[in-house]
Amino acid sequence: MRSIFHAAAAVFLLHFFLTVTFSVGIRTIGGGDGSGPGFGFSEAPDYRNGVECPVSVNKEVVSSCDPDLVHVAMTLDSEYLRGTIAAVHSVLRHASCPENVFFHFIAAEFDPASPRVLSKLVRSTFPSLNFKIYIFREDAVINLISSSIRQALENPLNYARNYLGDILDLCVDRVIYLDSDLVVVDDIHKLWNTALTNSRVIGAPEYCHANFTKYFTDGFWSDPVLSRVFHSRRPCYFNTGVMVMDLVRWREGNYRKRIENWMEIQRKRRIYELGSLPPFLLVFAGNVEAIDHKWNQHGLGGDNVRGSCRSLHTGPVSLLHWSGKGKPWVRLDARNPCPLDHLWKPYDLYKGSSIKDRSSFPSSIFLGFSSYLS
């Protein structure tokens, strides 16, 4: 009973600090009351830069190419929309200079909600947000996807991170990739300032104590030709839901094609069971810029089968990540939340009426884009 009390007390204290502490550079203007055209989401508070924030050279017109901004890439779809909105809210809430953050949203080509609808929704929820929406052509990857341990992992949009170098504007040299099932509880500028040394292409928290062999089949490890990919490096597990990426080096090294090559082998040989993660491990594990573990307290969604409750890893927290089957908004709505799900709730702007319920939208805004930006 005492251990349960202590665990509950720890969650309460973490909840308190995450919900009342703001970065000193922010000026906050009250958000909407939820009565406006939020399409199911309340308008977020208007987070503005403080006087100590640097002013961009292009202050009159914010551009997706501005190197002075923090560039964040995320997927945007109806299935995980609630999570994405909460994640964006968390980034802005804790950023020292929220107006200096630019979001690059990757939308699925055949999502139930068109990119036009998603754009209107983001703009109504975050009126002053700097963002651009790109269309992900699913046919670029659909024939490379193999069955996975969980059907959700087979969603083509899970593979959009493989194509960021092609999808985003060529002027975008560097980006932070974030999954939609997380919240950032620290200043995103700190993560942005991560140096990628020794020509490394990506940076992420590494977990070298994890059993790396379990991410691949026995057939992979018993094949001397395939398994020798790791002979010259010491591979460690890392989670692809939080990455700092050098897109110049990515494009120059044609890393998209390297990942696709392993996906083609998987279709023929079945060398792993998970979805989009193993190809990244095959290409990058052992050559990743190690970032502090506090930037990805992952696994809060439990495993890929049961989605059971998990506790925090030991140490400080800058980002909470509900990777795994269980998602906080689903468990909260079902009134069966895990203790840590309550840490996600303060960033949730959802106020009802599902994006999938088209009756709540004017029919005129369900027009798909006829051109593609990717």
pLDDT surpassing 80 at residue 374: no
Do β-strands 242-246 and 202-204 pair in parallel, antiparallel, or remain unpaired?
antiparallel
pLDDT tens string 214-266: 999 999 999 999 999 999 999 999 999 999 999 999 999 999 999 999 999 99
pLDDT surpassing 90 at residue 287: yes
State in Å, rounded, how far the first CA of the chain is from the last one: 55
70-295, superfamily in CATH? Answer: Spore Coat Polysaccharide Biosynthesis Protein SpsA; Chain A (3.90.550.10)
pLDDT surpassing 90 at residue 372: no
Pairwise pLDDT comparison (265 vs 154), residue with the higher score: 265
How confident is the model at residue 14, as a pLDDT?
56
Q: Using CA atoms, how far apart are residues 121 and 68, in angstroms rounded to an integer?
A: 27
How confident is the model at residue 253, as a pLDDT?
97
Report how far apart, in Å, the C-alpha atoms of 124 and of each of 42, 93, 97, 234, 361 are.
8, 17, 21, 47, 13
DSSP state of 164: H
Pairwise pLDDT comparison (24 vs 273), residue with the higher score: 273
Q: What is the mean pLDDT of residues 17-46?
A: 55
pLDDT tens string 68-93: 899 999 999 999 999 999 999 999 99
Q: Using CA atoms, how far apart are residues 131 and 71, in angstroms rounded to an integer?
A: 9
- Sequence ranges of the domains in the chain: 70-295
Determine contact, residues 102/62, Cβ cutoff 8 Å. Answer: yes
Residue 34 pLDDT grade (very low, low, confident, very high; cuts 50, 70, 90): very low
